[in-house]
Amino acid sequence: GPEPLSAFPQSLLAVRTTAGKVLNFKIWNADSPRRQEQGLMFVHDMDEHAGMLFVFTGNQQPMMWMKNTYISLDLLFINEHGLIEYIAAKATPLSLSVIQSPKPSLAVLELKGGASEVLGIKIGDSVVHSSFHNAK
C-alpha cells in the first residue's frame, strides 16, 4: 500500500518572486522512484504552504499525471537554476492525462491547486532549495 506522507523526508523551500516577495513552504521530498510514483496520491487536503518536490536525474521532460490524486494541484516545472519555466495550474484530480512542460526540467514542485495564483507565483520566479544551483 501507499507509504504515509509522514514517512517522506521533509525540508523547507522558498519561492522568490520577481516582485521580491519570499514565500516559504514546508515540503515533502519524493526522493526515490517509489515515492515519485506515489507523489500526492490519496491525499485529501493540503495547506497552501505545503508541497511536494520531485527532483529528476539530469534534464528531461518529466511526465506527471494525477492518477489516484484526489485534490487539484499546481505543477511547477523548474530548471537546474531554480527558475520556474512552466506552470500547469489546477490539474484535474484523478485525470490520466500526461502533464508535461515544453522544456526540459530538473524538478517539479506540486502545490495545492490554485496556490500559485493566490500567492502570486509566476513563470520566471525562483525556487530556493538545496536541489538547485542557486541555493547558497
pLDDT on residue 134? 64
Q: What is the pLDDT of residues 5-36, one digit of tens each?
A: 999 999 999 999 999 999 999 999 999 999 99
User: How buried is residue 36: exposed, middle or buried, by Cβ count under 10 Å (0-12/13-18/19+)?
Assistant: middle
Please, what is the average pLDDT of the chain? 94
CB 13 within 8 A of CB 55: no
pLDDT on residue 58? 75
pLDDT on residue 40? 96
Task: Round to whole Å and give the CA distance between 125 and 119.
Answer: 12
pLDDT on residue 11? 96
Write the CA distances from 41 to 1, 2, 14, 116, integer angstroms.
11, 8, 23, 20
64 forms bridges with which residues in the sheet? Answer: 99
pLDDT on residue 89? 98
Q: Would you say the pTM of this structure is higher than 0.85?
A: yes
Mean pLDDT on 46-67: 92
**Residue 136, pLDDT above cutoff 50:** no
Q: What is the pLDDT of residues 72-125, one digit of tens each?
A: 999 999 999 999 999 999 999 999 999 999 999 999 999 999 999 999 999 999
47 forms bridges with which residues in the sheet? Answer: none
